[in-house]
């Protein structure tokens, strides 16, 4: 019996090795993955990063990192600071993104509606679009004219478990589908977000069920300390969710009572964006 088990184990090992040899890793795929890792890392360090730091932080050999940076410089996506030698992104990626948004018609469709809601709410209003398994903010309107203004970075993917936008989108799915998406991205940590960020399935599902019942999501010190937010999904005629509209601001102004007051206006804006989405090539494709 032991000999049979040893033979079976050896046979399985050989089959795995044979499979790897017959399907070797694609060198081009590895180069592309490393290139995107460099670009994404530099996007989080606008001040630039030294070659040695990039190599260590990305777990890549120094020589390979240097060659990649050279190619990215040649293509115009990265530049090297002449004074300190650090590497940083150029605005070419930004230009590509802005050109895409302009040609897609998203901003043209949504901006007047976001401006109207921001003026009524007196807070920051944003639109995030569904892109595969992610949500990305693409447009905004600032309604706070005085005092504390909440205005986080645009163009970033949304953390689904720790944001009103994420909760609003997840609330349109079954619990199983929602948890699968969150499992891929991971739960946010309170030290990186707000003190009330959900860190368990039970806590997250409580937020999603409340959002389904209410029609929109509400969070209090979940994304950031002292900040609140609310969000509603943008559903088109066939029921597909193509985006999310959010309102966010400081807790001292955007209280739970104030968010409930703004609920009807938020839902109306989401419906208006859905009706106008046919004018956007990107939204038409998602519908």
The secondary structure of the chain in percent helix, strand, coil, rounded to multiples of 5, reads: 50, 15, 30
The tokens describing 224, both together, are: 């950031």
| Structural domain contains residue 238 | yes
Q: Are residues 259 and 147 in the same domain?
A: yes
Spatial separation of the C-alpha atoms in residues 75 and 56, rounded to whole Å = 24
| Structural domain contains residue 270 | yes
Q: Are residues 51 and 149 in the same domain?
A: no
pLDDT digits (tens, 9 = 90+) for 89-141: 988 887 776 666 666 666 777 889 999 999 999 999 999 988 888 898 888 99
The tokens describing 139, both together, are: 């447009």
Cα three-residue angle 94-249-200, rounded to 5 degrees: 90
| Structural domain contains residue 16 | no
pTM for this predicted structure: 0.68
Give the three-class secondary structure for 137.
strand
What mean pLDDT is predicted for residues 67-73?
92
Q: Are residues 269 and 166 in the same domain?
A: yes
Spatial separation of the C-alpha atoms in residues 221 and 274, rounded to whole Å = 29
Residue whose entry in the numeric block shows the structure tokens 């939204």: 283
Of 92, 113, 141, the domain-final residue: 92
Q: Are residues 126 and 183 in the same domain?
A: yes
CA 161, 162, 168, 172: dihedral to nearest 10 degrees? 0
Spatial separation of the C-alpha atoms in residues 217 and 229, rounded to whole Å = 8
Q: Are residues 114 and 225 in the same domain?
A: yes
Q: Are residues 166 and 276 in the same domain?
A: yes
Check which CATH number belongs to the domain holding 124 and give it: 3.30.450.40
| Structural domain contains residue 225 | yes
- Residue 8 in this model has a pLDDT that exceeds 50: no
Enumerate the β-bridge partners of residue 129: 136, 243
Please, which pLDDT band fits residue 62 given cuts at 50, 70 and 90?
A: very high
Q: Are residues 121 and 68 in the same domain?
A: no
pLDDT digits (tens, 9 = 90+) for 230-264: 999 999 877 889 999 999 999 999 999 999 999 99
Q: Are residues 250 and 132 in the same domain?
A: yes
For residue 81, the surrounding DSSP H or E stretch is none
Spatial separation of the C-alpha atoms in residues 109 and 114, rounded to whole Å = 10
| Structural domain contains residue 123 | yes
| Structural domain contains residue 6 | no
**Predicted pLDDT of residue 6:** 47
Q: Are residues 77 and 169 in the same domain?
A: no
**Predicted pLDDT of residue 133:** 87
| Structural domain contains residue 3 | no
Spatial separation of the C-alpha atoms in residues 243 and 278, rounded to whole Å = 13
- CA-based end-to-end distance of the chain: 59
Q: What residues make up the domain containing 43?
A: 22-92
**Predicted pLDDT of residue 284:** 55
Spatial separation of the C-alpha atoms in residues 210 and 190, rounded to whole Å = 21
- Residue 210 in this model has a pLDDT that exceeds 90: yes
pLDDT digits (tens, 9 = 90+) for 128-185: 988 888 898 888 999 876 655 555 555 556 899 999 999 999 999 999 999 999 999 9
How many domains does one find in the chain?
2
Of residues 83 and 266, more confidently modeled: 266
Torsion sign over Cα 161, 165, 171, 177 = negative
Q: Are residues 68 and 41 in the same domain?
A: yes
Report CA Rg, the chain: 23
Q: What is the DSSP letter of 278?
A: G
Q: Are 79 and 90 in contact (CB under 8 A)?
A: yes
**Predicted pLDDT of residue 160:** 95
Cα three-residue angle 233-268-125, rounded to 5 degrees: 65
- Residue 80 in this model has a pLDDT that exceeds 80: yes
Spatial separation of the C-alpha atoms in residues 233 and 243, rounded to whole Å = 6
Q: Are residues 61 and 155 in the same domain?
A: no
Selection from 241, 215, 246 nearest residue 230 by Cα: 246
Q: Are residues 187 and 124 in the same domain?
A: yes
Q: Are 279 and 268 in contact (CB under 8 A)?
A: no
Which is it for strands 87-89 and 217-220: parallel, antiparallel or unpaired?
unpaired
| Structural domain contains residue 76 | yes
What mean pLDDT is predicted for residues 192-196?
91
Of 53, 70, 92, the domain-final residue: 92
Of 37, 67, 92, the domain-final residue: 92
Cα three-residue angle 69-75-81, rounded to 5 degrees: 50
Check which CATH number belongs to the domain holding 53 and give it: 1.10.10.10
């Amino acid at each position: 019996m032991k000999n049979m088990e040893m033979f079976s184990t050896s046979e399985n090992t050989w089959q795995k090795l044979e499979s790897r040899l017959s399907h070797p890793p694609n060198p081009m795929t590895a180069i592309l993955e490393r290139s995107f890792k460099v670009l994404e890392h530099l996007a989080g360090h606008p001040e630039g990063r030294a070659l040695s730091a990039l190599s260590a932080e990305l777990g890549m050999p120094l020589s390979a990192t240097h060659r990649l940076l050279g190619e990215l410089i040649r293509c115009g996506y990265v530049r090297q600071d002449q004074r300190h030698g650090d590497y940083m992104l150029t605005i070419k990626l930004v230009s590509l993104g802005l050109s895409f948004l302009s040609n897609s018609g998203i901003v043209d469709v949504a901006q007047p509606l976001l401006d109207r809601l921001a003026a009524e709410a007196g807070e920051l209003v944003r639109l995030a679009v569904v892109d595969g398994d992610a949500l990305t903010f693409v447009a905004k309107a600032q309604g706070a004219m005085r005092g504390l203004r909440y205005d986080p970075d645009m163009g970033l993917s949304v953390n689904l478990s720790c944001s009103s936008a994420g909760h609003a989108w997840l609330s349109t799915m079954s619990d199983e589908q929602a948890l699968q998406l969150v499992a891929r991205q991971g739960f946010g940590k309170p030290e990186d977000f707000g003190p009330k960020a959900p860190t368990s399935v039970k806590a997250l599902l409580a937020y999603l069920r409340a959002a389904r019942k209410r029609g929109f999501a509400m969070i209090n010190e979940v994304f950031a300390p002292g900040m609140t937010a609310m969000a509603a999904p943008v559903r088109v005629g066939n029921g597909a969710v193509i985006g999310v509209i959010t309102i966010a601001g400081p807790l001292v102004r955007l209280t739970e009572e104030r968010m409930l007051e703004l609920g009807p206006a938020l839902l109306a804006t989401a419906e208006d964006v859905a009706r106008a989405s046919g004018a956007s090539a990107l939204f038409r494709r998602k519908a």
